[in-house]
Amino acid sequence: MCPRAKRGDADDHSIQTIRCVWCDIDRVSTDEAHKRWSEAGIPRPSIVVSSGSGVHGYWLLQQDLTSQPERSEFVAMLQNFYRSFGGDHVQNLSRILRPPGTVNYKDARNGRPPLPCSLCFCDPDVRYPLGDFAFWMPKDERELPLASARPRSHPDIDASTVHAEAAALISRLDRPCRDRSRRDFAIVCDLLRLGLSRDEIWSLVSASSKFESDGRPYFDLTVTNAERAVLSRPASRSPLRPAT
């Protein structure tokens, strides 16, 4: 979503410039997406893309955001923004969204035919100041996004690192995998090591992998086993080592 300063930049810390507000809504039509945005009081997007499994919206900004305070404010806003219309659960700065003209093979292993990603609307002259999204800015510490809080179990870890690590872990849930249960368990273990609670983890994983298909009972069993594993081996691995 955001330009990279150099080849190989792949994490949130490498992002220096933000040029738009974006969103990803799974399993909706463009009409449904517009309805959700309208009901949430969101202005019309500059660009709308049908991703093949949902809808992407883009609101081009009048000015690039380049300072650290601007980027921090943007990250805090984006999570509240997504919640207002039921957007996807990952909103990190280094997010990559599928471009129009490509083919979406998501769930192909389950028999779903590939679907095209296509441009539905584009008006690059429609641009917004960041102030137009002030409604979704956190008003106080209670409204700060989950990943901006310091992890309870590792208070010496930088908050932005937690945000990036959690987002990277969640992104792995949509990758093809021979043993999804084992992969899901490993990721939940690492999210627990970041200091996230059961409810916080559920809000992040509920729309992915077997958590989506098997629901809360599967999650409760997975997180219970993960809590036991983490408590029994608290120093067996670095708190921020990604799950395999």
In this prediction, residue 194 carries a pLDDT of 86
What pLDDT shows up at residue 214? Answer: 86
CB 165 within 8 A of CB 194: yes
The closest alpha carbon to 20, from 67, 76, 78, belongs to 78
Give the pLDDT of residue 146. Answer: 40
Please state the rounded mean pLDDT for residues 148-161. 42
Q: How far is CA 8 from CA 14, 44, 56, 170, in A?
A: 9, 33, 25, 21
- pLDDT over 60 (residue 15): yes
Least confident of 43-52, 88-97, 148-157, 224-233: 148-157
What confidence tier does 35 reach under pLDDT thresholds 50, 70, 90?
very high
Q: What is the mean pLDDT of residues 97-125?
A: 92
Q: Mean pLDDT across the stretch 82-93?
A: 86
CA 38 to chain centre: 22
In three state form, how does the secondary structure of the chain look? CCCCCCCCCCCHHHCCCEEEEEEEEECCCHHHHHHHHHHCCCCCCCEEEECCCEEEEEEEEEEEECCHHHHHHHHHHHHHHHHCCCCCCCCCCCCCCCCCCCEECCCHHHCCCCEECEEEEECCCCEECHHHHHHHCCCCHHHCCHHHCCCCCCCCCCHHHHHHHHHHHHHHHHCCCCCHHHHHHHHHHHHHHCCCCHHHHHHHHCCCHHHHHHHHHHHHHHHHHHHHHHHHCCCCCCCCCCCC
| Mean per-residue pLDDT of the chain | 83
pLDDT in the model for residue 232: 65
Phi/psi for 26 (5° steps) reads -85, 145
12-143 fold: Alpha-Beta Plaits (3.30.70)
Q: Is a pLDDT exceeding 70 seen at residue 103?
A: yes
Confidence of residue 138 (pLDDT cuts 50, 70, 90): confident
pLDDT at position 147 over 70: no
pLDDT of residue 236: 41
User: What average pLDDT does range 232-242 have in this prediction?
Assistant: 45
In the prediction, which pLDDT does 162 show? Answer: 60
**181 has a pLDDT exceeding 60:** yes
pLDDT at 144: 39
Per cent of the chain over pLDDT 70 is: 84
Up-side HSE of residue 89: CA atoms within 13 Å toward CB?
21
pLDDT tops 70 at residue 30: yes
Angle between helices 159-171 and 198-205 (to 10 degrees): 50
Q: What integer pLDDT is reported at residue 102 of this predicted model? A: 96
Arithmetic mean of pLDDT, 21-35: 94
Examine the pLDDT at 25 and tell me if it is beyond 50: yes
Closest CA to 95 of 181, 158, 18, 149: 18
Residues 6 or more apart whose CB falls under 8 angstroms from that of 196 comprise 146, 151, 166, 204
Instruction: Report domain extents, the chain.
Output: 12-143, 146-232
